[in-house]
Structure 1
């Protein structure tokens, strides 16, 4: 069992926060808004997550004012959303304090029920020797059934490159994979390399437009390489399940500010009081470049 140190701190970036440390990792979770994980690093290392300190990326408008809010802020970090995406439903401002409780190997984080969607969100975080396991839960607190999927979004710091594995399943004369593109995505975008075994997407602060793709990520992992560190996420792709957005269990979005690695659970019809869950695992390792990272995965 890995030893976890849990401390409440006043962080200069995130305010009143919870800091979790073990022998390998440091994680910082704001307590006055969220659920958000705003810092994740190797002990003594650099935060791999994006932090929108200036509040540049936001959604505002009359819909938010009717709810008594100034709007939704990207903030950055890691967040739990609910797919399919819809404005303003999925942009419910996560600007209220969250609850937390220790578990010995981590914590359970719970946010207030969202006023717009009547969904309660929870993330259970468990530290192991070499990775962190996040179990995301969404519960329908409304009076009617809803069809939704848990949606884990990791907003990564500028300047790195995402690696997305290609599905290699042999299907004979039938197709074995599909790539889903959003209306603003250009197939000839020079940030994207359509490799035989992997798709890579480079985050560029000089980009003049956004790009997003989705896949049925059967290998069940993706990574982001930046400043000599590889942030790897893994999830279970269920081949017999129905996923949102044209059967996507993984999506990647980038613009001039950041890049997002996103995993999704299957669509579920949740009756009142029912819960859907989705697990994602995180690992940080040293990686000088794509070749060294991929070589380490083959060991």
Structure 2
């Protein structure tokens, strides 16, 4: 019977990481800092997540470090609120089917972060349940914000809502959120009829970012011949951060971040908000260059799992 394994591991200078693995995929969870999921990939293959070598193995200090991998924030983004350092050890629990990591309460916000990480025993599939707990004395409006820093050299894919003919569709059905530094003429963008593509280029230092409501509930990143997909719940009619975004993509010279968000929530003292992502990793999927490539090579994979 297929099963997954969990073992303590020294990874990149952190001696107390945990490796979750099955026959095809592996995941590394840090406990010396975090919570961070610093590696996800096929066994013996590349890390599909970005790593920042100058930060690996470091602990302590009051400056925020990128580290790399997957992390949990709370939106809307602001300094210093968003950038509370996750440089210390986290509590953790080993359960029968998943691992739970719990960060101490953020002293500046009163928010506590928690993740449950479950690796499927027979597939390159991960479920990550993110939680934000309000340990403070007053209510806070926020959204759970799950950010995955992907390794350089790939292409992000974000689906657009269904298109239609003019006279049958007189009202708008979607929006696109831009940041002041977003440059729509940048060659890293590919604006398709059905999908937006953003290419990560290590030689382009100018950051780019967009956000959008994504009713289809998925976003993807293609790199080499591998395809990473994250799926999530989109709540129609709910209020989301950043003018209504349930998914966002950010790129600079070091990485590309694939991000999803929960609806905005007024979190009362003691209350919890949850946000769940499912990750899927595929082999032998050509990188897309436009809508036709996504339809031909990526949609069939999505139909196997979520569509």
1:149 and 1:164 map into 2 onto residues whose CA distance is 20
Aligned to 1:133: 127
User: Quick one: structure 1 residues 2 and 119, their matched pair in 2 at CA, closer, same or farther if it must change by over 3 Å?
Assistant: farther
Aligned to 1:9: 9
2:10 and 2:287 map into 1 onto residues whose CA distance is 35
- Aligned CA RMSD, in angstroms, stands at 1.8
1:116 to 2:114 alignment: no
1:27 to 2:34 alignment: no
Instruction: Return the offset for 1:297.
Output: 3.4
1:273 and 1:43 map into 2 onto residues whose CA distance is 40
CA deviation profile, 1:219-261 (whole Å, cap 9, x unmatched): 1101101121101000011012110000000010000110000
Instruction: Return the offset for 1:187.
Output: 1.1
1:2 and 1:106 map into 2 onto residues whose CA distance is 15
Aligned to 2:81: 89
Aligned to 1:293: 298
* TM-score relative to the length of structure 2: 0.90
State the secondary structure of the residue aligned to 2:71.
strand
Unaligned stretches of 5+ in structure 2? none
Unaligned stretches of 5+ in structure 1? 57-67
2:7 and 2:45 map into 1 onto residues whose CA distance is 18
Aligned length: 288
User: Quick one: structure 1 residues 196 and 44, their matched pair in 2 at CA, closer, same or farther if it must change by over 3 Å?
Assistant: same
Which consecutive aligned stretches of 4+ in structure 1 deviate over 2 angstroms post-superposition?
Answer: 12-16, 127-130, 169-172, 288-299
CA deviation profile, 1:34-74 (whole Å, cap 9, x unmatched): 00000001122211000001249xxxxxxxxxxx9441001
1:182 to 2:179 alignment: yes
Aligned to 2:18: 18
Q: Which of 97, 100, 109 does residue 92 from structure 2 map onto?
A: 100
Asked if 2 retains the 8 angstrom alpha-carbon contact of 1:121 and 1:136, the reply is: yes
